[in-house]
Chain A
Amino acid sequence: MIFEQGQKILFIGDSITDCGRRDANAPYGNGYVSLVRAFVTARYPERALRWENRGIGGNTVRHLAERWEQDVIAEQPDWLSVKIGINDVWRTFDSGGNGAVPIDEYETTLRSLLQQAVDSTNCKLIVAEPYIIDADRSNPMRAMMDDYGQVARKLAAEFGAINIRTQEAFDATLATTTPEDWADDKIHPNLPGHAVIALAFLRAIGFEL
């Protein structure tokens, strides 16, 4: 398991990361962040890890850029986990493009954010790909999400980051189930859906049960 004694792990992203961490489910939310923290703490308590959730619902990379200094750089994490891109794509389909982030801007902004984080905090990186819980690759939003996911994957490789393939994780479960088993809107998971993300994360960090 890659997290070391006393390290600080900071998660940032959108609603999937947030999950009520600013209100009803403070301070970790009740989604994948909370699951990862609980299981890693239970399995490796001697490492005395510190955890922070800085997800905010509705965020795109533009929103992350506005609060990067305060919520990432000032926090000086040892590990930074970034999971962003769903809203960047979704706004094209649910808001007539208002607030959508074109793929070139997504790539440029995300690269800049990762570079700033590394330069200013010397943290190591975890980059999770955006997903939609829909195995139909001909669905236009799925096709677009795949393109953004490829950008996130490419950037993860550029920075030598741990790469969390959330879309592949959901695709695997959808081989025998339906999207409604995991989320009402193909985006915001129920607890087993958050466990799908948490399992992908735990595997990627070398967690052993």
Chain B
Amino acid sequence: MIFEHEQKIVFIGASVTDCGRREEHAPYGNGYMSLVRAFVDARYPELDLTWANRGIGGNTVRDLAARWEKDVIAEQPDWLCIQFPTNDVWRFFGDHPEQGVPIDEYEATVRSLLQQAVDGAGCRLVVADPLYINADRTEPMRAMIDDYGAVVRRIAAGFDARIVRQTAAFDAVLATTAPADWSDDRVHPHLPGHAVIASAFLRALGFSLA
């Protein structure tokens, strides 16, 4: 387990991180973040960790950049867990393609966010690439998600981040199941889908069941 005694862990991202944490499921939401917290606290209670969820539904990296100072730097986490949103890509395929984030802007923003976090908070990073529950790599949105995911993983590696491959985790379960088993819209998971993400995070954190 990479977390150490009395460290503070902040999660940030979009709706899959948020999961009602600002309202009926305050303060942790009812998604993967809550699962990770519950299992890490249950398994390593002596670490006495502090947790915060700063996910906000609908965010792209532009929105993250706008609130990075307040929600990340000011929080001074020891570990920052970033779930990069699906929205940056998804917007290109919906009613507001102008809200999609072009890949050059995306790369520059991702790099800037990670650099600011390390410089401004002195934190270490856990970085999840954007998720999309669709194993068909020829589908246009899936192909674009793969390109954006590769950007995230390449930049994150340069910051010595722990990397969580969310779309790959769903590819594994989709070998024997259908996207509808995990989500109604291929992005927002049901609880077992959140457990797919949580399991990928727990493995990246060095969680040991024994």
Contact = CB atoms under 8 A, between A and B. Distances in A.
Interface of A: 34-35, 37-39, 41-43, 45-46, 173, 175-177, 181, 191-196, 198-199, 202-203, 207-209
A130 B171 CA distance: 39
Contact of B176 (A46, A176, A208): A46
Contacts, number: 72
B173 to A, nearest CB: 5
B191 A195 contact: no
Given A38-B194, A43-B199, A45-B181, A199 B42 contact: yes
A67 to B, nearest CB: 27
B177 A45 contact: yes
A60 B65 CA distance: 54
A208 B209 contact: yes
A7 B15 CA distance: 34
Nearest to B202: A209
B177 A39 contact: no
Contacts of A193: 42
Nearest to A200: B42
A194 B207 contact: no
Nearest to B196: A42
Interface of B: 34-35, 37-39, 41-43, 45-46, 48, 173, 175-177, 181, 191-196, 198-199, 202-203, 207-210
A37 B194 CA distance: 12
A199 to B, nearest CB: 6
Given A175-B46, A192-B41, A192-B42, A41 B195 contact: yes
A191 B34 contact: yes
B192 A191 contact: no
Given A41-B192, A43-B199, A209 B207 contact: yes
Nearest to A208: B209
Given A37-B192, A41-B192, A195 B39 contact: yes
Q: Which 7 pairs across A and B sit closest by C-beta, in order of nearness?
A: A195-B42, A46-B176, A42-B195, A38-B195, A176-B46, A195-B38, A41-B192
B41 A195 contact: yes
A192 B37 contact: yes
Given A45-B176, A175-B46, A192-B38, A202 B209 contact: yes
A194 B176 contact: no
Nearest to A37: B192
Nearest to A46: B176
A42 B43 contact: no
A41 B177 CA distance: 11
Contacts of A34: 191
A196 B196 contact: no
A202 to B, nearest CB: 7
A173 B42 contact: yes
A207 B209 CA distance: 9
A46 B195 contact: no
A38 B38 contact: no
Given A38-B191, A181-B45, A194-B38, A199 B177 contact: no
30 contacts: A35-B35, A35-B38, A38-B35, A38-B194, A41-B192, A42-B193, A42-B195, A42-B196, A42-B199, A46-B176, A173-B42, A173-B45, A175-B46, A176-B46, A176-B48, A181-B45, A195-B38, A195-B39, A196-B42, A198-B42, A199-B39, A199-B209, A202-B209, A203-B210, A207-B209, A209-B199, A209-B203, A209-B207, A209-B208, A209-B209
Nearest to B193: A42
Given A192-B42, A195-B39, A209-B202, A42 B192 contact: yes
B39 A177 contact: no
Contacts of B41: 192, 195
